[in-house]
């Protein structure tokens, strides 16, 4: 396996995860379901799709089932991933998107790689010119896309320039249309 194909599978998995978050975020704002019902349904579908991947990979020998001692060794990490990352963060994400609207939520989640770059640099990592160029292009694309989307939303709804464009955000700020 070449190094290019070795990097392709993780990159495709990350890209699939990004698409999943975008679909989840936008879907959560368009359905009239409760956040708990929507989150439960998406978790059931996510678990089913993970099983479709994990079970055949385990049978084929690509994955190994961990023994009880291994699971006991990482019990605190599992607890954190289940309770904090899996439950608390997801409910917070839903509440934040209801308050901020999905367009702002998606922009916010893109701060994660920016924060990672900053922490890496502060930890002593020397970014190459190509990495810096890529980071600048990514940040510029995110900001440009967000500004463009806001302009489209404002134009479609014919909201005056001084009024917040997001209907739900306006509800929380005291503005009534």
Contact by Cβ (8 Å): 139, 145: no
Mean pLDDT, residues 94-121 = 80
When mean pLDDT is compared over 63-77, 103-117, 163-177, the highest value belongs to 63-77
Contact by Cβ (8 Å): 124, 112: no
Place 158 in a pLDDT band, splitting at 50, 70 and 90. Answer: low
Q: Mean pLDDT across the chain, nearest whole number?
A: 79
What size, in residues, is the chain?
177
Contact by Cβ (8 Å): 165, 159: yes
Query: Is residue 166 packed enough to be buried (19+ CB in 10 Å), middle (13-18) or exposed (0-12)?
Result: buried
Q: Which two tokens stand for residue 81?
A: 């991933």
Q: What is the pLDDT of residue 174?
A: 45
Among residues 95, 88, 93, 94, the alpha carbon closest in space to that of 172 is found at: 95
Among residues 148, 153, 145, the alpha carbon closest in space to that of 169 is found at: 153
Q: What is the pLDDT of residue 17?
A: 77
Render 9-58 in DSSP notation, one character per residue.
HHHHHHHHHHHHHHHHHHHHHHS-S-HHHHHHHHHHHHHHHHHHHHHHHH
pLDDT in tens, 1-24: 455 556 777 778 777 877 877 788
Q: Which two tokens stand for residue 117?
A: 């770059």
> pTM, whole model, 2 decimals?
0.55
When mean pLDDT is compared over 27-31, 34-38, 75-79, 147-151, the highest value belongs to 75-79
Contact by Cβ (8 Å): 164, 154: no
Place of tokens 């991947």: 53
Cα–Cα distances in angstroms (integers) from residue 77 to residues 32, 71, 85, 101, in the given order:
35, 10, 10, 31
């Amino acid at each position: 396996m070449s190094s290019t194909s070795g990097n392709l599978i993780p990159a495709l998995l990350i890209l699939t995860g990004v698409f999943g978050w975008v679909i989840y975020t936008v879907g959560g704002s368009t359905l009239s379901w409760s956040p708990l019902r929507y989150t439960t349904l998406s978790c059931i579908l996510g678990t089913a799709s993970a099983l479709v991947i994990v079970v055949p990979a385990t049978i084929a020998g690509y994955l190994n089932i961990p023994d009880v001692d291994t699971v006991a060794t990482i019990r605190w990490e599992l607890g954190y991933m289940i309770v904090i990352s899996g439950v608390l963060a997801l409910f917070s994400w839903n509440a934040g998107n209801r308050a901020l609207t999905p367009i702002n939520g998606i922009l916010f989640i893109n701060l994660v790689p920016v924060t990672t770059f900053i922490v890496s640099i502060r930890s002593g990592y020397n970014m190459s010119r190509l990495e810096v160029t890529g980071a600048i292009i990514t940040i510029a694309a995110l900001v440009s896309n967000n500004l463009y989307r806001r302009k489209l939303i404002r134009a479609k709804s014919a909201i005056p320039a001084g009024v917040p464009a997001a209907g739900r955000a306006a509800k929380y700020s005291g503005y009534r249309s």
